[in-house]
Structure 1
């Protein structure tokens, strides 16, 4: 097999205009000398398998191990070529020509071709599909017009030239394109299989095929269990060591704990502050940073005019931000591993050109997120007066789950104790597997979680432009829009682009268009014999391709 490649660092793309990259490295050690005889991984999930259609998932979870695209994320969080052997970028940096490997196959033995990518991408943008993450295609030629309903999906600027050449045309240069393409939504789909099964396609394991290292078994799929086995036709099959990954549905955290202690699970989530505190010094404990942020989102177009007038004021939103002790809030709800927000961009998402500066630490106007109760009270009184109010009762929406409920209670306590004349009524909302991110906000204040889908500050900042469907609070600032547009069309990663993104972040924080609270870490107890798992901080969390158990 010829798929041995060096990580394709995104920083280099800017200097490779018109050049072709095609380099090789030796494969890594498989550590077979210390492997256990049994290589079965047992995992837990809270939800049954409902779809295997990558276009209809807004969270890929364990299923990212069945998907592979032109790029994949390496252990350094960078994008490296995967199903693409090489890429050529034109001088204007608006056309990417990918040459695919000629010996990559679907799990049923079909050849993976360039047309599989064309079909998948156009299908994702088709209004009948309603892909939750379709906005990620913006910047690819005509995607914006297709999303607006002005053009059909077959006008997307992607084409197959023969079986193994994929040409992607852009509306403008996109320095972060390779990082975007590492996201599972940009993987291929087998058009022949989709046509064969029609409406049944991807509704059950037997109606889907897979390009990744694992495939979902067509046997034993129930509301309580599903499992993955190695893809026999995967290009790097010799470096897939697990023989089976069981995924069991647990409705009770107590049951999951019982099975972990009994050796029936290899991983269990620590969901409460109490459990984190009890196990954080154990060898099996791990806190995985992930590029997501817990946010407070504001409704400005609700049924109460006075509430709208209050929350439309940046001074009111700044008062709320200054009334929050983020360190205490995170520690008392998600545990000590959570990080107080420094801005909208999570820590560890993106570093400077020399790999030394973390964008999160460099974010300007961090004082807008500092706990300053006296400043908060002064700002709040002024905002109330401007809205013609002396007191107000607002609603706060939160997810009906352990951490979210605790977070809502703690947040209400902090805000109402600090801000005079404020009463808050909590409103629980039910979690849905396929959440519509463009759904209107249901309360005055809304606790939400936003994750970065690729390793660039733009993945968070672009969500709050005037035209973004993720901007459900409808905050608008035209200077901000212009700065994000400049960064979106930058031809390369450079100092100017970096400063542009920082300016945009500063505007968002100065006005508190959305209020970041903290960056939670996912905390687990893990079987200490499990090695080789790639835990990503962006995109999809766990890659089990080279995972194995030691004796």
Structure 2
């Protein structure tokens, strides 16, 4: 969820907020509807090209892969009815259900998976998520244009049998299969719409519990309607889910108080005013909001300048007073609560050694900044900080501007723009410095650490470090079958990134909600696509 997501968009992103709204009337004849508010617009529903958390949440409900992820990311049956893995852990065989269909009536076949994976890996597609396929036979070579797309380790043996060949064990492979990037695509639809594919609800087809409707590509409302072609439609209880973009949390709270919403996300100030209200719920997200620098800028190439800007930020105060919503300060890039050590069950963040630059120290920060300016022959520095235009991110931008400008000679201008625009600007490196975010695609530290490798398209700062690349490669290759060695590789890699201030981690986000007892069965996971509405209902 990359910028992802995670927008978490990235994705690049402010995080998506979901507010579930009730049916309104209580008649048994009333349609079973949940209306959802989000603070970011939908960008695309092309699974090969999206990076936004909001889009992944939609795709997770309108499409389906080999597996679905249930509560606590438990792997559940999807299009695959069964699977087998070889003794060496490098070959997976999936048997697909024969009653799965696309919303246009086409059967979902093994070839749809082959086509989708090849399309995402094809360099011409320019997918920012192709790196997730690393470890599947020839995936890296294909991305580096050193092998044909057809050589990817995925094969359709007839319509309903799929074989995937890996180069080494991938400990989190089944979790990956529940992430939308690995979902199938209908080649007929892709070819029919060409460059318009996935740019509106009408230029896409769906094989999940719901279908997307009423989205033109630019409007701020859309609907997920029950998919009459879905193989398990008898267990889908909702008729539809309605989305509307609402960027001001005050609007959401007012609607909740008017009993027009069943679930409303709160700002930090609002949450404090709720006290111990019984319908107040906190949710942690496996995320990291951070500042990324365009390292083509000479000033940002100076380590002391980057360290000074990290050290001048009071993360504890920022997380609790400015961001709120259950956010926590985290002196790690990998989120807390995501994964534990295979040795002793210790959280990943506890094994990492945070450098001094991750601690608030304004005196030392000012000293480092003066030294950094002197080293680059400057007496002052001015740059523009790019961020999204949601309410919370505007508040964050203003805090960061105030904090950073305490450094002598530093002036920071702000540019807050819509989510769909910021993702494009970040991907094209059209910024001086930007607030970005990453949301975990699955419950493993590598989902964060991969994006800082030198060739990863989501490495928007274009930071490079040979030692870091070597450690990540080892964790994915040589040490992939040795859990302890792999863990050590990842811990060392994060230490390298933090000591070199590859980015400035800011906080791990959370959500605080007012939730009506009417809303039931919504599955929320901290990693990957967060929301699964398949079994949701309104009481």
Higher relative contact order (CA 8 A, sep 6+): 2
Bigger mean CA offset, 316-325 vs 122-131: 122-131
Residue 434 of structure 1: how far off its partner (Å): 8.3
Assess, with a 3 A threshold, how the Cα gap between structure 1 residues 472 and 53 changes in structure 2: closer, same or farther: closer
Does residue 54 of the first structure (1) align with residue 47 of the second (2)? yes
Alignment equivalent of 2:164, drawn from 146, 165, 168:
168
Q: Deviations over 1:168-201 (max 9, x none)?
A: 2234332222222221111112234445566665
Alignment equivalent of 1:119, drawn from 96, 115, 132:
115
CA distance in 1, matches of 2:195, 2:361: 56
Alignment equivalent of 2:256, drawn from 260, 274, 288:
260
Assess, with a 3 A threshold, how the Cα gap between structure 1 residues 221 and 341 changes in structure 2: closer, same or farther: closer
Q: Deviations over 1:394-420 (max 9, x none)?
A: 432222332222212212222332x33
TM-score, length of structure 2 as denominator length: 0.85
Alignment equivalent of 2:505, drawn from 496, 516, 519:
516
Q: Secondary structure at the match of 1:54?
A: coil
CA distance in 1, matches of 2:44, 2:436: 24
Does residue 291 of the first structure (1) align with residue 279 of the second (2)? no
Bigger mean CA offset, 320-329 vs 95-104: 95-104
CA distance in 2, matches of 1:51, 1:374: 46
Residue 377 of structure 1: how far off its partner (Å): 3.2
Alignment equivalent of 2:316, drawn from 296, 314, 327:
327
CA distance in 1, matches of 2:76, 2:92: 15
CA distance in 1, matches of 2:463, 2:377: 22
Does residue 97 of the first structure (1) align with residue 77 of the second (2)? no
Residue 296 of structure 1: how far off its partner (Å): 1.3
Over the residues paired in the alignment, what is the CA RMSD in angstroms?
2.9
Q: Secondary structure at the match of 1:432?
A: helix
8 A Cα contact 1:343 1:366, kept in partner: no
CA distance in 2, matches of 1:196, 1:388: 57
Alignment equivalent of 1:454, drawn from 414, 425, 442:
442
Q: Secondary structure at the match of 1:460?
A: helix
Count of paired positions: 507
Alignment equivalent of 2:471, drawn from 466, 480, 483:
483
CA distance in 2, matches of 1:277, 1:181: 39
Q: Which residue of 2 aligns with 1:528?
A: 517
Q: Secondary structure at the match of 2:405?
A: helix
Residue 128 of structure 1: how far off its partner (Å): 4.8
1:413-424 maps to which residues of 2 (within 5 A)? 413-417=402-406, 419-424=407-412
Q: Which has the larger radius of gyration?
A: 1
| Structure 2 stretches lacking a partner, 5+ long | 1-25
Does residue 428 of the first structure (1) align with residue 423 of the second (2)? no
Q: Secondary structure at the match of 1:53?
A: coil
Residue 448 of structure 1: how far off its partner (Å): 1.4
Which runs of at least 4 in structure 1 moved beyond 6 Å after TM superposition?
A: 218-222
CA distance in 2, matches of 1:148, 1:381: 41
Assess, with a 3 A threshold, how the Cα gap between structure 1 residues 450 and 375 changes in structure 2: closer, same or farther: same
Q: Which residue of 2 aligns with 1:240?
A: 236
CA distance in 2, matches of 1:413, 1:340: 18
Assess, with a 3 A threshold, how the Cα gap between structure 1 residues 434 and 336 changes in structure 2: closer, same or farther: closer
8 A Cα contact 1:347 1:360, kept in partner: yes
Q: Deviations over 1:497-522 (max 9, x none)?
A: 11111011111111111110101112
